[in-house]
Chain A
Amino acid sequence: MTELFRGAWVVAYRDLLTYLNDRFRMAASIAFPLLFLAIFGGGFSEVIGLMTGGLDILQFMYPGIIAQAVLTTSLFSGVSVVADRESGFLREILVAPISRTGIVVGKVIGTASVALIQVLILLLVAPIVSVPLDAGIVLLLVPVVAVLSVALSGVGILIASFAPSQQGFQLAMQMLVFPMIFLAGVFFPVDRVPVWMEVLSKVNPVTYGVDAVRQVFLGPLPAGAGLGVTVLGHTMTLAQEVALVAVLGTALVAAAAWAFGRQE
């Protein structure tokens, strides 16, 4: 048991240290979502504004951008596993008296911490885009972001365990990230779309994560008008969405731990 905890702690510690050491990565990870906010919220406001059911475009977009930052950071966290394998540092980790499951748990915790730091920095923008912000929202946002990040870093580590190279991993991730973002309604509501697309959107776990973040900021969203997530006639509540992502996340992290532990 101590080997699990020690493993989780050292790996999470090192992930955070690496992030804080890398000013360029920190700046880019903040600038990227803001760029999206400017392009979609500013540039396409006329077009997308028609679909947001009367909601201000920036108010609609801002929670989506928060969710997108969490998504990108968490999914791409797996790249460090592949990079460590290429640089050789993974051997230092693998030969230490710590458990493999602990290493994966640590990676997940480290990633979630990095995602939370990013989200907290992005919250500074909220007043500028006139999104309401109070202590209650922040306190609710932290666990929602953490659960979403854990689930998605599970996916990242799972894929990284099989990826032969960083390039391969990056490519696989790009293929995964963009459909996930669009189908989850980050930039525009998934509404008035063909049935197959609606089905894909409903089985995309990110949909519930994005909607959960949106509900944290904007409260329960009215069904219809492209807002809120309705599954078989039932409009999902925040608690249900978080529970769904949590269950899925547990399964994904377990799968990642299995895949990672498999290698010699």
Chain B
Amino acid sequence: MAKDTPPEPLGATIIDVRDLSRRFGSVEAVRGVTFGVSEGEVFGFLGPNGAGKTTTINMLCTLLRPTAGSASVNDFDVVRRRSDVRRSIGLVFQQPTLDETLSAEQNLRFHAYAYGVPAELRERRIDELLSLVELGDRRRDRVRTFSGGMKRRLEIARGLLHRPRVLFLDEPTLGLDPQTRRRIWEYLAELRAREGLTVFMTTHYMDEAEQCDRIAVIDHGTIAALDTPAALKRAIGGDLITIATGDAAAAASEVRERYRLSPIVTDGAVSFQVPRGEAFLPDFVRTFSLPLDAIGLRHPTLDDVFLTLTGRQIRDDAGNGATSRAEGRQP
């Protein structure tokens, strides 16, 4: 697939990564990844824990030096122009990075001072962002009293305070309940529409990856595929159609001979793959000779993509894996 020549981004390139590698002792966590992200894009890194997602993000955020290759963010090299990169990006880490003894607005004010946000913009910007993430009425409360979802929303507000060009989100909704996750996605969509923000995120939630314009599937430190979610799913085969009839054997042979497809019979049901299920079904219903009891159509999921590319299910260690897969079915 896209392993050797990743598709070029459409707009102006805002993140440019070439042969980026990072070694920890004898372990090569990231092994020569190359990709570009264009302005205004929501770009996702999808992969299991330990695949190299966080290591890559840390290099792009100047927290970690690459051992080989190069990367630039907003046209600034991540090694030589660290401060310029830092001013260009907002960050929401996997683990909370708030000062819990301070109030919400004190945390934001600290950030504004640290990033040199001009005084005349500071308070207005804090007001705006607190109301965007619906924490306006809790602004004077200490962060210690906040729930996990509120903390994450505050961190997103903080990450946007200095008007970054790119927002980096490392597993932005890890450990949050489905409603909160949905709300965070709504905020991000709104921000993107309003400010043309570029979002770079890592995730191992399939439904979250679905929200991205393009996804890089990363495994064992290399990019296994890079494309839009739809194209990735198309590339692994087609939609799965399952029909139930009175006579499975006869139905299977008609599917094979008349439509030139390869059906499989399981439990009296006949299933087969077609490139585009919606376009295929109307014709099929009109022309199929046997009486149909039921028809099922299933699109391939990113789970299927990941399985096909790596031969494994995407899985987290212990508890998280179960929730990610359960929630993955109800985007």
Task: State whether the Cβ of B96 lies closer than 8 Å to any Cβ in chain A.
Answer: yes
B83 at the interface (CB under 8 A from A): yes
Whether B114 lies near A91 (C-beta < 8 A) is no
Contact B102 A18 (CB under 8 A): yes
Q: Considering only CB atoms, which chain A residue lies closest to B142 in the complex?
A: A21
Q: Is the CB of B115 within 8 A of A96?
A: yes
Q: Which residues of B contact A7 (CB under 8 A)?
A: 114
Residue contact B102 to A94, C-beta cutoff 8 Å:
no
Query: Could you mark each residue 98-123 of chain B with 1 if its beta carbon is under 8 Å from any beta carbon of chain A, else 0?
Result: 11111000100011011110000000
Given known A3-B83, A17-B102, contact A88–B93 (CB-CB < 8 A): yes
- A93 & B114 in contact (Cβ 8 Å cutoff): yes
Report chain A residues within 8 Å CB of B95. 88
Q: Find the residue from B87, B95, B114 having the highest chain A CB count within 10 A.
A: B114
Q: A22-B101, A87-B100, A97-B87 are in contact. Are A10 and B113 (CB under 8 A)?
A: yes
B63–A95 contact, CB under 8 A?
yes
B101, B111, B113, B158: the one contacting A18 at CB < 8 Å is: B101
Interface size bucket, A side?
Answer: 20 to 34
In the assembled complex, B325 has its CB within 8 A of some CB on chain A: no
- Interface size class on chain B is 20 to 34
CA distance A264 to B64 in the complex (A): 6
Interface hub of A6, A89, A95, A264 (most chain B Cβ within 10 A): A95
Residues of B within 8 A of A17 (CB): 102, 106
Nearest-neighbour CB distance to chain A for B218, whole angstroms, equals: 22
Q: Is A134 located at the chain interface by the 8 A CB criterion?
A: no
Contacts of B83 in A (CB 8 A): 3, 97
Q: Is B217 an interface residue (CB 8 A)?
A: no
18 sampled A-B residue pairs with Cβ under 8 A: A6-B114, A9-B113, A10-B113, A18-B102, A22-B101, A84-B99, A91-B93, A91-B97, A92-B97, A92-B111, A95-B61, A95-B86, A96-B86, A97-B83, A97-B86, A97-B115, A97-B116, A264-B65
Question: What is B's interface to A at a CB cutoff of 8 Å?
Answer: 61-65, 83-84, 86-87, 91, 93, 95-102, 106, 110-111, 113-116, 158
